[in-house]
Chain A
Amino acid sequence: MSNLKQLATRQAPLCGGHRACAGCSAPDVVRQVLMASADPVVVGSATGCLEVSTTIFPYSAWNVPFVHSAFENAGASVSGMEAAYKSLKKQGKIGDEKINFVAFGGDGGTYDIGFQSLSGAMERGHNMMYVCYDNGAYMNTGIQRSSATPRGAMTTTSPVGKVIQGKQQQRKDLTACMVAHEIPYVAQTTPAHWRDLNAKVEYAFSIEGPKFMNVLAPCRLGWGYPMELTMDMCRLAADTCFWPLYEVVEGQYKLTYTPKEKKPVEDFLKPQTRFRHLFRPENEHVIAEIQQEVDRKWERLQKLCTL
């Protein structure tokens, strides 16, 4: 694990001048992930906020090679790049320096439209890391629900109406889906826990094969909280066990952070306007159900960690 002084000596992968919203966490995810690599990186990306805001022609915020082609194909696109690297290296057409291949996608490009492409890339065993920056909705197109949107959240396609109030379904557990791929490394973290993130990414880069990181990425626009609280939102997600920090190495679960005191999920929901309607008396049962779900999953995770 590197400390901040060491990380500060690394080349900044992303410069200023990009058009992400003020207080956006996605650039933090990118910077922290890529600075954890001591070797050169080549980055691929799904269409989404990150890609759009960082590559407005002729302005690119990327200091490293960056390739975007479409929304649903970051897994496939980076697997092609990795195959090219293997082929050209084998033939002596390029040098044999190690390159770390990283794919970034939002929850839309990862949980939903890009799920098949991600699954294929992981199954084929490419030596690459896929990082999902999960902000829990299709923020780039104006906050529509995704399968990562939590139960109860208000989005533009899961609005609060007279008979239906917010998203009716639980979120998909993508991290678990990736564990089921039996790849060498799967982890979940947040950018607020930079030490945790750094340790996970450094480890991931040290091993061969496909790696997957699910990184919570608060969106102050879609979540509706004051923009300076971006990192606090991550901490609340971890401390309420809504978003536990853990890793799965070769199938072995390990919690990498246990809150000193598990906070009620209300603490995570309350500061966000997307959950505001849940605090009306008639909806309080939804919060109770969300809490039950968080508890159930937290208990299961703890059990998995003892296996």
Chain B
Amino acid sequence: MKENINSWKDLPIGGIVDEPGTAMAYKTGDWRTLRPIHNSEKCINCLACWIYCPDSAIILKDGKVESIDLEHCKGCGICAHECPPKVKAIEMVDEADFR
């Protein structure tokens, strides 16, 4: 589906969104004031961050945490908080440091 539909004649019938997952084109990463930094050396790949992330922003590869989808992560910090206390593989840092 086209992202910017100009004419009413081009809309799918009935207001449906005729493809899955089109929200990926919408970036919610700029909502963030804190950025999660994932340390793969500390990570034990328990996947707690993955199961609890509300924004599906923990990217896995072969069952291991590969990276964090910063285009969609809103910086809620659930991942860092849920990372086991003895592991602490995710740290929330000020987003301003990256601007």
Q: Is there any pair of Cβ atoms, one from A and one from B, under 8 angstroms apart in the complex?
A: yes
Chain A residues engaging chain B, CB cutoff 8 angstroms? 4-5, 7-9, 12, 14-28, 31-32, 54-64, 191-192, 194, 227-232
B78 neighbours in A (Cβ, 8 Å):
23, 227-228, 230-231
- Encode contact with A along B58-84: 1 for CB under 8 Å, 0 otherwise: 001001000001011111111011100
How many A-B pairs have beta carbons closer than 8 Å: the answer is 123
Question: Are A23 and B54 interface neighbours, CB within 8 A?
Answer: yes
Cβ-defined contact, A227 with B76, below 8 A: yes
Which chain B residues lie closer than 8 Å to A232 at the CB level? 81
B67 CB to closest chain A CB (Å) equals 13
Residues of A within 8 A of B77 (CB): 23, 227-228
Return the chain A residue nearest B47 by Cβ: A4
Within 8 A of A (CB), among B1-41: 1-3, 5, 15, 17, 19-28, 31-32
With A4-B46, A16-B28, A231-B82: A55-B54 Cβ-Cβ less than 8 Å: no
User: Could you list 15 further interchain pairs (A-B, Cβ under 8 angstroms) beyond the known A16-B72, A230-B52?
Assistant: A4-B48, A4-B51, A5-B63, A8-B60, A14-B56, A17-B25, A18-B55, A22-B76, A23-B54, A59-B22, A60-B19, A62-B20, A64-B20, A192-B52, A228-B80
Q: For A20, give the chain B residue with the smallest CB separation.
A: B54
Q: Which residues from B are CB-within-8-Å of A28?
A: 51-54
A58 contacts B22, CB within 8 Å? yes
**What B residues does A20 contact at CB under 8 A?**
54-55
The reply to whether A18 and B23 contact each other, CB–CB distance below 8 Å, is yes
When chains A and B are docked, how far (Å) is the Cα of A23 from the Cα of B21?
20
Binding site for A on B (CB under 8 A): 1-3, 5, 15, 17, 19-28, 31-32, 46-48, 50-57, 60, 63, 69, 71-78, 80-82, 92
Contact with B74, one of A14, A22, A31, A61 (Cβ below 8 angstroms): A22
Report the separation of the CA atoms of residues A38 and B80 in the bound assembly, to the nearest whole angstrom.
29
A204 to chain B, nearest CB (A): 19
Neighbouring B residues of A16 by C-beta, 8 Å: 23-24, 28, 55-57, 69, 71-73
**Which 4 residue pairs spanning A and B have beta carbons closest together?**
A16-B72, A17-B23, A228-B77, A23-B76
Residues of B within 8 A of A9 (CB): 63
Residues of A within 8 A of B69 (CB): 16
CA distance A60 to B81 in the complex (A): 28
Sample of 6 A–B contacts (CB below 8 Å): A15-B24, A17-B72, A28-B52, A57-B15, A58-B2, A64-B20
A4 touches B50 (CB 8 A): yes
Q: Which residues on B sit within 8 Å (CB–CB) of A231?
A: 52, 78, 81-82
B66 → A minimal CB distance (Å) = 11
Contact B21 A228 (CB under 8 A): no
